[in-house]
Amino acid sequence: MRKHFNGLYGLVRDHLGCNPESGHVFLFTNARRNRLKLLVYDGSGLWICTKKLDRGCFRWPAADSTVKKIVLGHEELTLLLGGIDLKQTEPRRWYRAVHNAEPDELRNTV
């Protein structure tokens, strides 16, 4: 967890194969899972937010060891940051309209 702006930017771009300037939130943890770093680009620059737990650890979603990234919805991210174990929660079937807007249109609405 020693990486900062350029290191995390490079991880997102090279290791995950994603665009760090997409507006998505990228979440990283250390091996003990008691620290998190959140990386997001807001249109004018990068933000890094960090959290270190005094005790305990974050309950990271289970995944195969060959998986490079896990995609979470904003509800799951909120639960993870709030200390909820995602294995013990069950998503309900829910309707959500999907709007296909161009990235430039999304940036102009914020």
Q: Global pTM?
A: 0.72
User: Please, are residues 103 and 41 in contact by the beta-carbon 8 Å criterion?
Assistant: no
User: Please, are residues 72 and 55 in contact by the beta-carbon 8 Å criterion?
Assistant: no
How much is the pLDDT for 101? 56
- Tens-place pLDDT, residues 26-85: 999 898 989 999 999 999 999 999 999 899 888 887 777 788 888 888 888 888 888 877
Domain boundaries, the chain: 5-109
Amino acid identity for residue 13 in this structure: R
How much is the pLDDT for 57? 87
93 contacts: CB under 8 Å, gap ≥ 6? none
How much is the pLDDT for 103? 55
For 40: left if phi > 0, alpha if psi spans -120 to 50, otherwise beta; the answer is beta
Averaged pLDDT, 92-104: 67
